[in-house]
Amino acid sequence: MAREQLGVLKALDAAKTQCYHFTAILVAGMGFFTDAYDLFCISLVTKLLGRIYYTVPGSLKPGTLPPNVANAVNGVAFCGTLAGQLFFGWLGDKLGRKRVYGITLILMVVCALASGLSFGHSAKGVMATLCFFRFWLGFGIGGDYPLSATIMSEYANKKTRGAFIAAVFAMQGFGNLTGGIVALIVSSAFDHASKGLAYNINPAASLPPQADYVWRIILMFGAIPAALTFYWRMKMPETARYTALVAKDAKLAAQDMSKVLQVDLQAESEQVKTDIESPAQETSKNAFGLFSKQFMKRHGRHLVGTTVCWFLLDIAFYSQNLFQKDIFSAIGWIPAAPTMSALKEAFTVARAQTLIVLCGLIPGYWFTVAFIDYLGRRTIQIMGFFFMTVFMFALAIPYHHWTLSENRVGFVVMYSLTFFFANFGPNATTFIIPAEIFPARLRSTCHGISAAAGKAGAIVGAFGFLYAAQSTNPAKTDAGYPTGIGMRNSLIALGCINFFGMLFTFLVPESKGKSLEELTGEIDDEENGQTASPRTILSSANQGHGKRK
């Protein structure tokens, strides 16, 4: 006899979309808004940091960050994020989603402020403290990935679960956009006040002392949205699925959900109480661990699929996102650094990235929200990887064509389309799928492992792209860098990576329209090695009692 869900979980799956669902999206989504802002705002200020701390007096070009410093500044937050995803993912399954949720937010607030206050009397001192605080900022951001995804998946009904999780993730787009807008406003205001000159006209006047405030303000702004949502995050109850399936207190799960959702769960309370106290619950054979043979048999292929797809996606996505300023410079869309003042360059980089976010990132996110519960997760992921591959090759193969001044607008349009299909594709679905296909007691952990694999890919993209994208001509490389394979070959490599991501997508199941327990096997038949359902236990007990009479 097939196992039934507890009443509280059944009610959650069937619950109509209501106000609390949107509250949960907003509270969890603001965490992702902050994540995106904090991770990507560094790419808006790296050129400015190079000018402030590494300009050599008398040089024909303004300063740039040395390769080892640029690697550290761009990549250290990803290292922290990777560690945070593994640690908080595991902790979320051990202590509960809610208990850990506030810790990540506090870390993000404190470290965002501390990053902007990075102290030191020398370039080395400032960069060292900046990297230290950005590592711990990343550690807090890392915890937000598995916790936000798991919380939203466990609150949602099965009909619109994909759209709800995608909406949380889509807040990344607004975080990216806000980063660009803040950088535009701050750099423009300071540039207007200082009236800086181009570096090739007057190197000293191109870098006013106030420029040091600009990057600090931009980094510190990330603390504001995180701080604003702390109260509401602490008011959220623990998810019913964690309480019922992991903490084994389904009565409390029913009470918690009755407070926030307009669903009558009280009728289940006595049944649930009996369910939990049943000794049969303690002998469950469904309590296999992460490293067990049974997990590998049932979910090992799925974990390989989610980790490899996220790893490959983030190599392409983060190398594009962090270093698009270099791509724009290579095609001449951003003027040569000596022709601008420091703050004018910061403004120009922010404007370019903001246009890409508006044209490519944000529409892609919301197309996923609109269509994911109709097309399905796997379909959208395959489609996204396919078109990312196509557009990467379309940019790379005739690369010289796109560098011509009359074709640069076309290059930006094509480049925006790769971002559109990244977000109406694997950038969203690699976040959604791991929150649905693993058992409740391992859901946060497996999502953390998948996300950490993604950040490993981001590290490869962040570090590798700095070197790979360098010109093959030694005279055209950035200061301190060896020759690379060039922008064209780098784009070809990214296209190949996207192609393999499409192939590995076939390892993950389609989760559209199914309950979480159905997907994870937590309601499998007893004959397949699972415990009987609580209702079955009660029914059998009543029948036995009748026979004894």
Write out the DSSP string of 92-116.
HHHH-HHHHHHHHHHHHHHHHHHHH
CA 55 – CA 106 distance, rounded (Å): 36
pLDDT of residue 167: 93
CA 305 – CA 296 distance, rounded (Å): 13
**Under 8 Å CB-to-CB from 340, ≥6 apart: which residues?**
198, 199, 206, 348
Asked whether residue 153 carries a pLDDT value surpassing 80, the answer given is yes
pLDDT of residue 150: 92
Q: Token pair of 241, please?
A: 């699925």
DSSP code for 360? I
Please report the DSSP string for 192-261 in residue order: HHHTPPPTTT-TTTTS-TTHHHHHHHHHHTTHHHHHHTHHHHHHSPPPHHIIIIIS--HHHHHHHHHHHS
Asked whether residue 304 carries a pLDDT value surpassing 80, the answer given is yes
Check residues 535 and 91 and name the one with the higher pLDDT.
91
pLDDT band at 213 (very low <50, low <70, confident <90, very high): very high
pLDDT of residue 175: 92
DSSP code for 156? S
Q: Token pair of 382, please?
A: 């395959």
CA 146 – CA 381 distance, rounded (Å): 19
CA 181 – CA 416 distance, rounded (Å): 18
Q: Token pair of 319, please?
A: 């190398």
Q: Look up tokens 């990053």; give the residue.
A: 115
Q: Token pair of 433, please?
A: 């799928």
Q: What is the three-class DSSP state of 489?
A: helix
Q: pTM for the full model?
A: 0.84
pLDDT band at 491 (very low <50, low <70, confident <90, very high): confident
Helix axes 342-356, 161-194, angle to 10 degrees: 160
73, 131 contact by CB (below 8 A): yes
User: Which stretch of 102-106, 117-121, 235-239, 539-543 has the lowest confidence by average pLDDT?
Assistant: 539-543
Asked whether residue 532 carries a pLDDT value surpassing 60, the answer given is no
Q: Token pair of 173, please?
A: 């787009």
CA 265 – CA 272 distance, rounded (Å): 10
Asked whether residue 433 carries a pLDDT value surpassing 70, the answer given is yes
Q: What is the three-class DSSP state of 142?
A: helix
Q: What is the mean pLDDT of the chain?
A: 82
Encoded amino acid at 210, one letter: Q
44, 353 contact by CB (below 8 A): yes
Give the mean pLDDT of 216-230. 91
pLDDT of residue 182: 95
Q: Token pair of 53, please?
A: 């701390």
DSSP code for 333? S
Asked whether residue 284 carries a pLDDT value surpassing 60, the answer given is no
Give the mean pLDDT of 138-162. 90
CA 149 – CA 168 distance, rounded (Å): 8
Asked whether residue 410 carries a pLDDT value surpassing 70, the answer given is yes
312, 46 contact by CB (below 8 A): no
Neighbours of 203 (CB within 10 A): 21
Q: Look up tokens 């800086």; give the residue.
A: 196
Residue 78: its H or E element? helix 67-95
- Strands (DSSP E) found in 256-400: none
